[in-house]
Structure formats: C-alpha cells, structure tokens
C-alpha cells in the first residue's frame, strides 16, 4: 500500500513540478529585456555596506582625534575607498607574509614604530613600482633623496629596490622628521609633503598638528590612507578578507654571495651559479641591467636561492 501511495503520489506531483518549471521558463522567455535584467540583478546583486569606524585608533602610539567630525569623516572616506579595493588588498595581504616580518624587525632595530610598515604599504603595496614623478621601490624614494642617503642609483644599479637599504634610508628620514616636528604623525605626513612643505604650512597657519592643518588633497588624505590600511590589513576578516596562510607569498630562502669584482655579463654569471638571469633579478631587484660594475674598494652582496 505504501509503495502504491508513493508511486501514485509521485504521478500526481510530477506534473505540478513540470508545470512549475515550464512556467518559470515561460515567464523568463516571455519577459521583456528590462524584466529579465531586473530579475538577474535581484538574483545576483551584492549588498554593499559602509564599514563602521573603529571606536579608537592610533598611529605609532599617538591617538587619532576621531571626536573631531572632519577627522572622523576623512578616515571614513579612506576606509570606504580601501575596503572595496579587493584585488589590491588581497595582494597586499599575500605580500605581507613575505616582507613585513623583516621590515618590522628593521624598524624595531632603528627605533621606528612598527606602524610605519603601513606607510610603505600606502606608498607601494610592497611592490617594486615607479611613480609618474620618478619615485621607486617599497618606500618610493626619489633618485636624489636616495643618493643623499648613500644609495647607488644609475643604469646598472638602483638601490631604491634594495629592501634593506631602502628601509634604512626611510628610517633615517623618519628619525630626522620626528626630531624636527615632535611626533610620528607629523613625520609620516612629511614623508609625502616633504619636511619643508609641512614646516611652511605650520608657519603659515599657526598650528603644529597634522590634524589641524589645511593641506593639499594628497597630503590631506595621506595619513588617513595609512590608518585605513592599518585597520583593514590588521583586521582583514572584519572587512571580509579571509586569506588562508598557505595562500600567502612565503619568504624566499637565500644565501649571500659577496662580489668585489665587476661582472661584465650577469646572465652568464647567473648560469654559472646554476640559475638564470630572471631568478637573479627576482632575488636582487636592485639589479637593473646586464652588467654589475664594482668600483675598487667596494663590494656588493648578491642573494642567491638556497
């Protein structure tokens, strides 16, 4: 009896399912293009929400005055802008696994707060990029600025792409700026505007706090982009970014090789080391040509794969 009920019950239900299916398809076929677009939108639309401001946030231990409406709104703008840059944010999270531990260690050794790693992220997203103005590397140093810190910048070598040397140069700049302006926030702002630019604005406006200054749009947004990246990259899951550790970019194990003589053919040299020129450049992004000229009394340290 039960088997008969199931059998005949299915016979009764099946046509209804067919009618429902054909009815839905008929509606789809008979719908106007606008109706089909509306239905597709309702089916696939995403809900975009505005991220909530944190109750409090600091930079290098210095509190951000979120009780000031203008300050809160400027942070809100950058949180909104950066929380929806999905590709850039995921790439930054991946690169952070490779580079941030070493950069933070160097900052610590030079008495620079670790929050400054987010300044490097704001500058380059830890990518070997060059700006339209000519600034290059993780810390986006200009050629003359880099040379002023003893770095080599020419057709063969550009040490702005040397992570350790460029980080040390940034540390030297930030220490000088901190001594000049009295706090890390002003020092960070001067990294974008220049010490002379921040000092001039302070004198003209009679204030000494970044958050009280009227500045050009880029510098006005600069600190808030850094703060937004600190908040988002420091709390990725809060903003919908769930990156498994194994999906990040791992550090590249390497061994040093000190070079005290000119290498006239770097591709051939690379092959002699059991690698190719592309790999040599990957491990030594500061190499910019096919030759490495080593002046008398100087030496360079190359990194080779383990």
- pLDDT for the residue 10: 46
Binned at pLDDT 50, 70 and 90, residue 45 comes out as: low
Query: Does 18 have pLDDT greater than 90?
Result: no
66-123 confidence digits (pLDDT tens): 999 999 999 999 999 999 999 999 999 999 999 999 999 999 999 999 999 999 999 9
Query: Does 44 have pLDDT greater than 90?
Result: no
Binned at pLDDT 50, 70 and 90, residue 32 comes out as: confident
User: 223 near 273, Cβ under 8 Å?
Assistant: no
Least confident of 44-48, 190-194, 233-237: 44-48
Mean pLDDT computed over 174-182: 98
Query: Does 27 have pLDDT greater than 90?
Result: no
Query: Does 52 have pLDDT greater than 90?
Result: no
- pLDDT for the residue 171: 99
Query: Does 8 have pLDDT greater than 60?
Result: no
**Quick one: CA torsion of 202, 207, 213, 216, rounded to 10 degrees?**
-20
Mean pLDDT computed over 230-234: 97
- pLDDT for the residue 48: 75
124-160 confidence digits (pLDDT tens): 999 999 999 999 999 999 999 999 999 999 999 999 9
């Amino acid at each position: 009896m039960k088997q008969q009920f199931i059998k005949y019950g299915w016979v009764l239900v099946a046509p209804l399912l067919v009618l429902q299916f054909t009815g839905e398809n008929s509606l789809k076929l008979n719908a106007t293009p606008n109706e089909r677009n509306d239905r597709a939108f309702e089916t696939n639309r995403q809900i975009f929400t505005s991220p909530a401001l944190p109750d409090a946030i600091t930079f290098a231990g210095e509190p951000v005055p979120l009780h000031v409406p203008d300050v809160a709104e400027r942070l809100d703008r950058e949180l909104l802008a950066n929380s929806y840059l999905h590709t850039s944010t995921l790439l930054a999270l991946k690169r952070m696994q490779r580079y941030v531990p070493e950069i933070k260690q160097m900052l610590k050794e030079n008495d620079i707060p670790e929050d400054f790693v987010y300044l490097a992220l704001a500058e380059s997203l830890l990518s070997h990029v060059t700006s339209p103005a000519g600034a290059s590397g993780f810390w986006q140093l200009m050629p003359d600025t880099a040379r002023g810190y003893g770095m080599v910048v020419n057709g063969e070598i550009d040490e702005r792409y040397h992570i350790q040397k460029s980080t040390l140069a940034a540390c030297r700049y930030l220490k000088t700026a901190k001594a000049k302006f009295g706090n890390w926030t002003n020092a960070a702002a001067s990294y974008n505007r220049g010490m002379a630019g921040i000092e001039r604005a302070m004198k003209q406006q009679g204030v000494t706090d970044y958050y009280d200054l009227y500045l050009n749009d880029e510098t006005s947004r600069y600190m808030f982009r850094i703060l937004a990246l600190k908040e988002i990259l420091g709390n990725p899951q809060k903003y919908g970014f769930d990156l498994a550790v194994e999906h990040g970019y791992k550090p590249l194990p390497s061994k040093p090789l000190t070079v005290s003589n000119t290498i006239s053919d770097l591709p051939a040299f690379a092959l002699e080391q059991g690698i190719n020129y592309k790999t040599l450049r990957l491990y030594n992004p500061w190499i910019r040509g096919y030759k490495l000229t080593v002046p008398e009394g100087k030496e360079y340290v190359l990194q080779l794969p383990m």
